[in-house]
Structure 1
Amino acid sequence: MISGKLIVLTGPSGVGKGTLVRTLLSRHPKLYLSISATTRSPRLGEINGQDYYFINNTKFESMIQQNQLLEWAQYAGNYYGTPRINVQEKINKGFIVLLEIEVAGAEAIKKTFSNALRIFILPPSLKELESRLRGRATDSEQSITKRLKLAKEELAVSQKFDKVITNHNLEKTLRQLELIIFSTQS
């Protein structure tokens, strides 16, 4: 039996990770998107077990203590993390598990899941990244400034990842990802 593997996709906010992941999932039924756990409240339209596992602080802290998370972080007073058991079960069943997470979490995965393939998605340029962030029309000016500052820091560590792909063109980037993901099973 062919075993599955863990593929970590990361990169700055606005680089197109979500679009890439949604398209890959629609094209390839052997791919499984790992669902993160969080202590924040669900946003309008979010579904427990589909968008996130919404849990309380006590449960999350218990998961940390029991080493049940591949990675975790705290942002704006809420915890976010990747439950280990779900990922491991899918890999054992032969699935290729996609994990779309922020850069710090993707760096941490190397310590907890050393054979994960970590792929960093680059924007064509910082100017294009800013254009994409502004084009979403979902963030305040302060938030965009903060995201761009963080993006510069994240781009500085991109070469620490196993593969680096620049998202110039959606179809070309998807083809590159498919070649990497579906290369010889590890």
Structure 2
Amino acid sequence: MSTGKTWPDLVSELLKLKWLLVLIIVGLPISFLGGIFFTYSDWYQNNIVKRLESNPFDSAKAVSIEQPPTTDVSGRWIIENTVSSANDSKYIGMKIKFRLFLDQDKNTIEGNAVKYMVDGDSIPEDQQIKLDLNGKIIGDSIMLDFYEKGKPGKFSWKYNPHRKSLDGYFKSSVAISRGDSHAHRRY
């Protein structure tokens, strides 16, 4: 049973339909992948919304569940920072001391500090650097932001009731430095 069409005739007819074939060959996989993408995208967005609605650490909800401070850190302190990394190796290992005064009102802390000693050498009073600090205390965690010579920095401490100290770390944009930070009360 022959239809009377030769092989070249069939190829010629198929070439007339080539755009339809291209559309089918290319379009079907794209449609399939697009369907998968949009289905996943909808699923992902719905799950993100559900997670955000049920997340107890969402910032709006965190305000209402903040832990009260476990201690009052108001008063005078001495801070000692030890630089463990910096953009210049000459700062690594440096010990820097500050006189610190903090004023705490519930979970809010404000204060100021003066850099007065580097590696055991006193800094002349007219060259001492002053810092203004503000931050929070949540439970026994203290987080303070500061600016040194216009560059931001951060102290992050935990209150140690046995040593009556603040222990943690500092980060500063000055010399891109960071390291251990400890503070003890000054009486």
TM beyond 0.5: no
**Larger strand percent:** 2
TM-score by length of 2: 0.21
The answer to which structure has the higher helix fraction is 1
Taking structure 1 as the reference length, the TM-score comes to 0.21
Q: Which has the higher contact order (CA 8 A, sep 6+)?
A: 1
Q: Which has the larger radius of gyration?
A: 2
